[in-house]
Each structure stands twice: as C-alpha cells, then as structure tokens.
Amino acid sequence: MSEEVIKILDALAEKFGFAIDWTSANVLPYLQQLCGKYVTYEIATSVVWILIGICLLFVGKYAIGKTKYCWGKYKEDWHSDYDFGAIWLGILAGCVIVGGIIVILCQTFDIVTCITFPEKIIIEELQSVYSSLK
C-alpha cells in the first residue's frame, strides 16, 4: 500500500481518536477489500450518471421536436404566441443536450480512471474527507 495512503489513513484515524495497528494481519487485506469495494461503487454510480445523461439526451431530442412543432405553428399564424414557446423550448433543448453530454463525458473519464488507476480515486476521496475534517 502506498505510503501516502497510509499517512492519510493515519491522520483520519487520529481525527476520529483511534489508532490503526498496521502490523495486524487482517488490516491490510481488509483495507484492500474496502478500496476494491469503493472503486466498484464509484464505477456503479458513474454508470447510473451516464444513464441519466443519456436520458437527458432523449429529453433534448424530444424538446427539439416540440420546438419544430411550435415554430411550424408560429409560421402558420404569425399572430400566435408559438414563437415564445419555440424560443424557450430551443433554449431548454440546447441546455439539456449540453448538460447530458457533459455528464456522459465526465463519468466516462471517471470510469476510465477507476479501471486504469484506482488508487487515484481512493486518494482523492481520502483527501476530500480529510480536508472536510479540518
């Protein structure tokens, strides 16, 4: 296990008021199992967020269809208020699609990081927990 991870874990344990006996035979296997579970959890939550991002893309596609419908109605009757609906639906569609793409990209990179360099995810989480305890 990395010395940096051990230092962070020792600092966290000190904040909570207990000490970790690193010479114990069951500490390292348990921490390795815990880290593996956390990486699996991170991958699972990223997959859920990717599914939410895909749903956002479908909502954006639906909003584009409604935008076209409103714009067509506005072209038929210039005195209607369909132009406002078309404008707002177009803005909504653009924001939802951009949001969905950003979510998908960020979570894809998160999954790649979890698969190729899981220690980075664990160290970042430990650092965020440690900084929140200060």
**pLDDT tens-place string over residues 15-58:** 667 777 766 777 778 778 888 898 999 999 999 999 999 999 99
pLDDT reported for residue 46: 97
What is the pLDDT confidence band of residue 134, given thresholds at 50, 70 and 90? low
Q: Do the Cβ atoms of 96 and 56 come closer than 8 Å?
A: yes
What is the pLDDT confidence band of residue 125, given thresholds at 50, 70 and 90? confident
Question: How many other β-carbons are positioned within 10 Å of the β-carbon of residue 13?
Answer: 12
| Mean predicted confidence (pLDDT) in 10-17 | 71
Terminal Cα distance for the chain, rounded: 24
Sorted by sequence, the CB contacts under 8 Å of residue 94 that are 6+ apart come out as 60
Q: Do the Cβ atoms of 93 and 63 come closer than 8 Å?
A: yes
Query: Which structure tokens are listed for 40?
Result: 């699996």
